[in-house]
Amino acid sequence: MRRFIVFLVVLMLFFPLASCMQIAEEQTTNPPTTTEQPTQTSATSVSNEETNARESAIERFRISAKAILLYEYYNDEDALQLELYYDKEKERGIGIFYGTGVYEHEGIVGFQVGAAEKAVWKDHKFLITTEYHDDVSYAAVLPGYEEQWAYNKQGKPTEFHVTIQWEDEEAPLDRSRVTWHYRKDGTLWKKDSFVNTDGWRGSERFYYDAKERPIYVNAYYTAGYVEDYYIYGGDSEAPSYRLTLVHALGPAYADEFVKY
């Protein structure tokens, strides 16, 4: 009887061991495969929370079934930051902002987007002006006006700086400063623009893609931040739309939606 019990114990210990050995052998023969996920348009990178928020926003705003995903933006950390669903026929849609980074406190926000207003596109990437500060005057009639430029070896601008000198001030006052940043291959990466104004978009940072097209702008003003999202159709050099969001004292909301 004792020998039979010992035999059962050994048998019970042997089966788990044999099972583990079989699993290990299968994993060695057929190792698990991994699939590299796209960084910009992968649905698998969207969490359940984001999916539920999207469905809730679509249902709440009752947008047309013809609304398509017109645009999505992923930030530098490959996190989904913005989606825009739009019905071009009815000219209405919704945007969904997924709070990330400095906007994490806002959480996931849905907002309506109406008909796009007509606007004229002008490429500002190598200009000292921007889309919002195109009327800034650097006329030499300003007291103590001094202008300085700097260029890289390829002849592209790297810095523009203007100072003025008021009679009652000891040191020169920065009027404007624009700095261009380039990638290793020489293409434009960022443009930082500072204009000494009352605070509306006094400083702006433009981001460009590999084709040197503006894709995103983050601007500061006294009440918060402003974001511009440039939407392109295919390989067009000029954007088709621009969506502007404002982050002030509350959740993000659409301030402008224009069509070029």
Note whether residue 132 is domain-resident. no
pLDDT at res. 100? 75
| Amino acid 253: pLDDT | 92
Task: Give the mean pLDDT of 187-209.
Answer: 89
Same domain for 191 and 244?
yes
| Tokens describing residue 88 | 């071009």
**Confidence class for position 58, pLDDT limits 50, 70, 90:** low
**Between 162 and 244, residue with greater pLDDT:** 244
Residue 165 is predicted with a pLDDT of 87
* Inter-residue contact 203 to 214 (CB < 8 Å): no
Our count of domains for the chain comes to 2
Q: Which two tokens stand for residue 228?
A: 């511009």
The share of the chain scoring above pLDDT 70, in percent, equals: 72
- Asked whether residue 107 falls in the same domain as residue 175, the answer is no
Question: Does residue 249 share a domain with residue 182?
Answer: yes
pLDDT at 5: 39
Residue 231, domain extent: 146-259
**Do 107 and 162 fall into the same domain?**
no
Question: Is 95 a domain residue?
Answer: yes
Higher-pLDDT residue of 165, 82 = 82
| 151 and 253 within one domain | yes
* CATH code of the domain in which 66 resides: 3.10.450
Residue 136 has pLDDT above 90, yes or no: no
For 206, the token pair is 């433009």
Which of 64-73, 164-173, 241-250 has the largest mean confidence? 241-250
The verdict on residue 134 lying in a domain is no
Higher pLDDT residue, 145 or 81?
81
Q: Which residue has the higher pLDDT, 235 or 182?
A: 182
The whole-number pLDDT of residue 130 equals: 83
Task: Mark whether 254 and 160 lie in a shared domain.
Answer: yes
Cβ–Cβ under 8 Å, residues 53 and 108: yes
Q: Quick one: average pLDDT of 232-239?
A: 93
Which one of 64, 96, 115 terminates a domain? Answer: 115
Mean pLDDT of 94-107: 85
**Are residues 169 and 208 both part of a single domain?**
yes
Within this chain, do residues 151 and 95 fall inside the same structural domain, yes or no?
no
Q: Is 5 among the domain residues? A: no
Q: Inform me whether the pLDDT recorded for 123 exceeds 90.
A: yes
Looking at the structure, do residues 108 and 159 belong to the same domain, yes or no? no
Dihedral sign, Cα of residue 40, residue 70, residue 83, residue 201: positive
Question: Mean of the pLDDT values across residues 215-231?
Answer: 93
- Spatial neighbors of 51 by CB under 8 A, at least 6 apart, are none
Q: What is the reported pLDDT for 176? A: 86
Answer yes or no: do 87 and 191 share one domain: no
**What pLDDT digit, counting tens, does each position of 167-184 carry?**
887 888 888 899 999 999
Do 110 and 183 have their domain in common?
no
pLDDT band at 213 (very low <50, low <70, confident <90, very high): very high
Residue 94 belongs to a domain: yes
Over residues 4-47, the pLDDT tens digits come to 433 333 334 333 334 333 333 333 333 332 222 233 334 445 57
Instruction: Confirm whether 23 is domain-assigned.
Output: no
Per-residue burial over 219-245, b = 16 or more CB atoms within 10 Å of its CB, e = otherwise: bbbeeebbbbbbbbeeeeeebbbbbbb
Question: What pLDDT shows up at residue 9?
Answer: 37
| Domain membership flag for residue 163 | yes
Residue 3 lies in a domain: no
Higher per-residue pLDDT: 239 or 63: 239
| Same domain, residue pair 109 and 207 | no
Q: What's the CATH code of the domain at 221?
A: 3.90.930
Residues 111-138, mean pLDDT to the nearest whole number: 85
